[in-house]
Amino acid sequence: MKIGFIGLGNMGGPMAANLVKAGHEVTGFDLVTAPPEGAARAASAAEAAKGADVVITMLPNGAILQAVAAEVIPAMKSGAVLCDCSTVDVESARAVAEKAASAGLGALDAPVSGGIGGAAAGTLTFMVGGADAAFATVKPLFDIMGQKAVHCGDAGAGQAAKICNNMILGVTMIATCEAFALADKLGLDRQKMFDVVSTSSGYSWSMNAYCPAPGVGPQSPSDNGYKPGFAAELMLKDLRLSQQAAEAADADTPMGQLAAELYTRFVEHENGKGMDFSAMLPRFEQRSRG
């Protein structure tokens, strides 16, 4: 397949490399980064999109996505599919899908989970919104870049799934960290706490797979000085998107709102920037109720 790939950063670079390795003809464009070996380099986003069967974007946010989409949609050939894998707001995803449809193109919002490691290993999970036909066209590429692609519904459904998942993740990570800090103050050994909770009703991915307490549970960023992993500022981005969506949809999300507030403080005022999002545990350790 002929693929245009726009946004070749930490995630997009290795994703594009996996498509090249699988034998696809990839033309890449990024404002800063060069395409991976074996991919052609375009001079602009429009040039990368020209003649492609599928154009994949992996960009920082919805405003940039909308600007790039405005440039590439007129350059794409009729019937091609624009597939955005960035994490962006639901409204931007829907606006891009509408513009693509009115230009006779397919469109998918297909954000990912699995991080930089998953992008390199080709084991991402894609959550996808858009029409069946567009999903069927891009599915073979999802199978190269990832291990699972869930077709969640119409345009915007992929982003909705992503921000709901990460809202749960942010809330449960905070709950897990504050529970460890309370356990410390109650004199409960952290390993015992893990042994009980990981097999009891308080279990979660945050506790069982990504334990924020160093030396407890499987290997995680807490065992590596809280080097990300999944950086606190990326969690904050996703929590803010969840609150933007909740506001637009008039949904009551008090836990998500509080999680967004706590990660804002952590990133902006408590040295959390550049730390893994599980570094909320040392943050809670240092605090009392006051």
**Is residue 31 at the binding interface for ligand NAD, with CB under 6 A as the rule?**
yes
Nearest approach, Cβ of 143 to ligand NAD (angstroms)? 18
**Is residue 68 at the binding interface for ligand NAD, with CB under 6 A as the rule?**
yes
d(C-alpha 187, C-alpha 180), whole Å: 10
Contacts of 244 (CB under 8 A, 6+ apart): 89
Q: Which residues are catalytic?
A: 162
**Is residue 177 at the binding interface for ligand NAD, with CB under 6 A as the rule?**
no
Where does the chain have alpha helices with state H?
12-21, 45-49, 62-72, 90-102, 115-121, 132-145, 157-185, 190-197, 205-208, 232-249, 254-269, 280-285
**Is residue 169 at the binding interface for ligand NAD, with CB under 6 A as the rule?**
no
**Is residue 112 at the binding interface for ligand NAD, with CB under 6 A as the rule?**
yes
Half-sphere exposure of 8 (CA within 13 A, CB side): 27
Residue with smaller CB distance to ligand NAD, 30 or 53: 30
- The closest of 287, 236, 229, 225 to 260, measured between CA atoms, is 236
Instruction: Candidates 22, 25, 33, 184: give the one binding ligand NAD (CB under 6 A).
Output: 33
**Is residue 235 at the binding interface for ligand NAD, with CB under 6 A as the rule?**
no
d(C-alpha 105, C-alpha 85), whole Å: 17
**Is residue 45 at the binding interface for ligand NAD, with CB under 6 A as the rule?**
yes
Q: Residue number with the shortest CB distance to ligand NAD? A: 9
Instruction: Candidates 10, 191, 224, 271: give the one binding ligand NAD (CB under 6 A).
Output: 10
* Residue in the structure block whose two tokens are 């933007």: 244
Instruction: Candidates 4, 5, 11, 275: give the one binding ligand NAD (CB under 6 A).
Output: 11
